[in-house]
Structure formats: C-alpha cells, structure tokens
Amino acid sequence: MVGGILVEKTMDEVLTRLGDSIKMFEQTIKALEVSLKKREKDILEIEIKYNVNPNKKGVQKAEEKPTGGASGGGAPGGQGVLA
C-alpha cells in the first residue's frame, strides 16, 4: 500500500520492466538509424545514376522572381492602372 492506495507491483518489478523497455527503445533507435543511413545512401546513388537532384529544383523555383509587365501590378517602370 502506497499513500493509502493498493498497488499491484513492487518498485523492483517496475524498475526492471522500465530498464527492459529502455533497452528495447535503444535497440529500435539504432535499427532505425541504420535503416535511415541505408535509405540516404540509396537515394544518393539514384541521384547520381539518373543525374537528378530534387533539392536544386526546389531552390530554383523559390529564387525565381516574377517579371514586370501587364500583369506586373505596380512594378516600377511597368504599366500603371487607368482610373
């Protein structure tokens, strides 16, 4: 009984199970890290083999600037709006 509450397990049983859970999580994390490194290596090999790099395409799109003109809308030196 702990603080007037009847408990089912002792501290030793709980600590043992927690220790086992921690070890299991650590093993799972290591396995996932190995899998991630393998996937990254596979992706790099595909990028080299097919001469693609999706990251550079995304950067180019983000860096593109719209040009002034009829649809420029208030760009300096562009066409104004008739009122």
- Decide which of 58 and 9 is more confident: 9
- Decide which of 41 and 55 is more confident: 41
Nearest to 66 by CA among 57, 75, 56: 75
Average pLDDT over residues 37-46: 96
Mean pLDDT of the chain: 80
* Cα 38 to Cα 35: distance, rounded to the nearest angstrom: 5
pLDDT at 11 exceeding the cut of 80: yes
Average pLDDT over residues 42-59: 82
Specify the pLDDT at position 4.
76
Query: 60 vs 19, 43, 44, 66, 75, CA distance in Å?
Result: 49, 21, 20, 13, 22
Q: What is the pTM of this model?
A: 0.54
pLDDT band at 68 (very low <50, low <70, confident <90, very high): low
